[in-house]
């Protein structure tokens, strides 16, 4: 077995394990912890939050980091080096379109961040519709302009989601949470913008997580969806709806 194959196998293993750590904590925060902490009084929050949140956020943010790092490594090994970027009959290869859409995959957070900071980001329905339209445009460009293979455009849409999510964790959620924890520890109310922003970005990550998983298993969805990129958009919409329904259920689950 070649060294690159060994690295690929180990990277897949770590990628999945770190992803479970990351997404598991994401769901804990959104479907369990948010509802639980809302029931606590000020004194209890002062005791619970400074102990619970830093521990959970440690595994949350480092799970995100290792998932993203190993994901990029797998892209390099399996797609860019492994020859899965284009179909066998594609003679254009690394065209301007292909290079541009790879760049867009990793720079897409900038556009998302701008939109999320506007009033649109707070309207989940409108923001979701805009997101679906932009995802459809990116997918179409990957297929018709960049000429990516089925697996390549699926995994690059997934890499786009994963990059947005990881950037949210490290650049938006974690800095805000540090300020929130410090304020609660002192018995003070955190500035309102910090919980609002952290909660919004965490919710966006939750919506992206289910479609992200679809793209990660793209090798197993190739038969029914081959040559039909709009199946991926359908999976994105279905994933968004599933998360929305889960939020509704989470709010109804009670403690003893």
Share of the chain above pLDDT 70, in %: 96
> Considering the domain boundaries, does residue 58 fall inside one?
yes
pLDDT band at 189 (very low <50, low <70, confident <90, very high): confident
Q: How many domains does the chain have?
A: 1
Regarding pTM above 0.85, the answer is yes
- Would the pLDDT of 225 be above 70? no
% helix, strand, coil for the chain, step of 5 = 80, 0, 20
- Mean of the pLDDT values across residues 117-131? 93
> Considering the domain boundaries, does residue 203 fall inside one?
yes
> Considering the domain boundaries, does residue 256 fall inside one?
no
> Considering the domain boundaries, does residue 107 fall inside one?
yes
Among 105-114, 148-157, 182-191, 229-238, the least confident range: 182-191
Residue 115 belongs to domain spanning: 3-250
- Structure confidence at residue 224 (pLDDT): 54
> Considering the domain boundaries, does residue 65 fall inside one?
yes
For the chain, the average pLDDT equals 92
> Considering the domain boundaries, does residue 167 fall inside one?
yes
Share of the chain above pLDDT 90, in %: 75
- Structure confidence at residue 93 (pLDDT): 85
């Amino acid at each position: 077995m070649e060294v690159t194959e060994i690295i690929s196998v180990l990277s897949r293993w770590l990628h999945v394990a770190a992803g479970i750590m990351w997404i598991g904590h994401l769901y804990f925060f959104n479907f369990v912890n948010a509802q639980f902490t809302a029931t606590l009084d000020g004194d209890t929050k002062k005791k619970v939050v400074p102990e619970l949140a830093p521990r959970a956020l440690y595994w949350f943010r480092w799970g995100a980091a290792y998932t993203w790092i190993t994901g990029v490594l797998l892209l390099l090994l399996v797609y860019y080096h492994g020859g899965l970027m284009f179909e066998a009959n594609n003679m254009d290869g690394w065209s301007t379109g292909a290079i541009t859409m790879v760049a867009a995959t990793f720079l897409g957070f900038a556009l998302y961040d701008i939109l999320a900071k506007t009033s649109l980001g707070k309207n989940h329905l409108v923001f979701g519709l805009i997101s679906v339209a932009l995802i459809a445009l990116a997918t179409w460009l990957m297929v018709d302009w960049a000429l990516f293979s089925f697996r390549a455009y699926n995994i690059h849409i997934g890499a786009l989601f994963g990059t947005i999510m990881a950037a949210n964790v490290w650049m938006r959620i974690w800095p805000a949470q540090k300020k929130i924890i410090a304020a609660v520890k002192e018995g003070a109310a955190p500035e309102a913008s910090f919980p609002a922003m952290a909660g919004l970005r965490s919710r966006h990550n939750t919506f992206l997580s289910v479609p992200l998983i679809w793209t990660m298993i793209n090798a197993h969805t190739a038969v029914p969806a081959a040559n039909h990129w709009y199946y991926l958009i359908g999976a994105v919409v279905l994933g968004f709806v599933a998360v929305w329904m889960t939020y509704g259920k989470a709010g109804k689950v009670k403690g003893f």
